[in-house]
Amino acid sequence: MKPINHADGCSLLNNKLTTSSLLLSLLIAATPVVLAADNGNISAADRARAKAQAAGKKAPAAQKAPAKFDFEGEFVNYASWAEVRAFLDEMAARHGFDRSELDTLIGKVRYVDTTVQLMKPAPPGKPKNWQAYSARFIEPVRINAGVKFWNENAEALARAEREYGVPANIIVGIIGVETVYGRNTGRFRVLDALTTLAFSYPESPNRTARMAFFKGELENALLFARKDGIDPLTLLGSYAGAIGLPQFMPSSIMKYAVDFDGDSHIDLRNSTSDAIGSVAHFLVEHGWKRDDPAISVYPVTVSPNRAWERFIGQGLEAKFTLAELQEAGVSAVAAPPRNLLFGLIDLQNGSEATEYSLASNNFFAITQYNRSYFYAMSVIDLGKAVSDARAR
């Protein structure tokens, strides 16, 4: 969820969110994951029933007609805030927006406390667990949905692979992890989420930087809506403002989204082709190399002397030779290419043994979508699982 740059939809967030950006449903289950969105599966009726059950009351019957969006929020007179007025003045001066129309629009925006709560630091002390995390994505429902998505979009996936050099299984893995192929694109009004985070971000050491980031995303959301002739209040997305099947943040839509279906319109919400082409374009713009080997991760064992520890946490890039890693006690299970550079990644498993792998350049290109080893490995594993299921 670049997001969280992205796509910064998943890569856009700070350390807490990039290592555990939360699907809202999984957050409620108190399980940390890496995504910035996937909120559409929690309906207002579900929350009402859960609340009633917690209070010992009979849960109300499910309603047939779902709400247009969840988390409607509450009215806050943002138009009276000096910093909001300054932002609107700048939008009018820099981009030619009608100031009175902006006043009308901001009067309809709501404060959403859920977005604030989800941005707060995660409780300390809960160990990371790669196996538990992975199991939430590499499972039958998502794999079967991936097979269906691949079969229905085989031509667009093949064309993206030809034009951008990004394999179909990687694109399928990203869209599957992000939104289960469009099933869970988020039900927050994007303008509500972005305005809340731009001007009401929770107290934290990086609050000023985060507010500046989301103010930029709010600016891009307004520019995107005007460019595409969309009522900005109809944009729905994640609690962080990520949009569509690939969960692009508005700035990433403006920079990296492409019209891949040739209809002269970019639509990441409804066009699977545009989503496919945009994911591939994003990865290329963030370092994906078509000529690198298809396999980008190589399991390894590490020696007891722990000289290899200096290679852990050295940034999201491949910058070490195989020879220097081997000299420090890293032994590959299968021989990786000697002409590539690698990073050493650790996949922690709670109280169980940590798994280690060498990762090459294209693995780290995926982490630019969401800055997490767990995320990138899930994308690779889901894409492979879907490809294997499709071949059977």
- Report whether 172 contacts 150 (CB < 8 A): yes
Distance, in Å, from the CA atom of 202 to the CA atom of 204, rounded to the nearest integer, reads 6
> CB under 8 Å to 256, separation ≥6 — which residues?
6, 7, 248, 278, 281, 282, 285
Residue of 74, 152, 161, 178 with catalytic role: 178
Residue 99 CB neighbours (<10 A): 13
Amino acid code (one letter) for 255: K
Tokens matching residue 47 = 């929350």
3 state DSSP class of 3: coil
Q: Where does residue 353 rank: exposed (0-12), middle (13-18), buried (19+ CB within 10 A)?
A: exposed
- Report whether 232 contacts 238 (CB < 8 A): no
Task: From residue 376, give the alpha-carbon distance in Å to each of 18, 336, 363.
Answer: 11, 19, 7
Residue in this structure with the two tokens 């309809």, named with its chain if needed: 108
- Report whether 234 contacts 145 (CB < 8 A): no
CA atoms within 13 A on the CB side of 216: 14
Amino acid code (one letter) for 127: P
Distance, in Å, from the CA atom of 120 to the CA atom of 123, rounded to the nearest integer, reads 9
Give the closest residue to 135 by CA, choosing from 285, 248, 29. Answer: 29
Distance, in Å, from the CA atom of 13 to the CA atom of 371, rounded to the nearest integer, reads 8
Phi, psi angles (nearest 5°) of residue 253: -60, -45
Residue in this structure with the two tokens 């039958």, named with its chain if needed: 140
Alpha helices in the chain (DSSP H): 8-11, 15-20, 24-28, 44-54, 82-95, 99-106, 113-119, 130-135, 140-152, 154-164, 168-179, 190-199, 207-228, 250-256, 272-285, 322-327, 361-367, 373-391
Q: Catalytic site residue 139?
A: no
Strand partners, 88: none
Strand partners, 223: none
Active-site residue numbers? 178
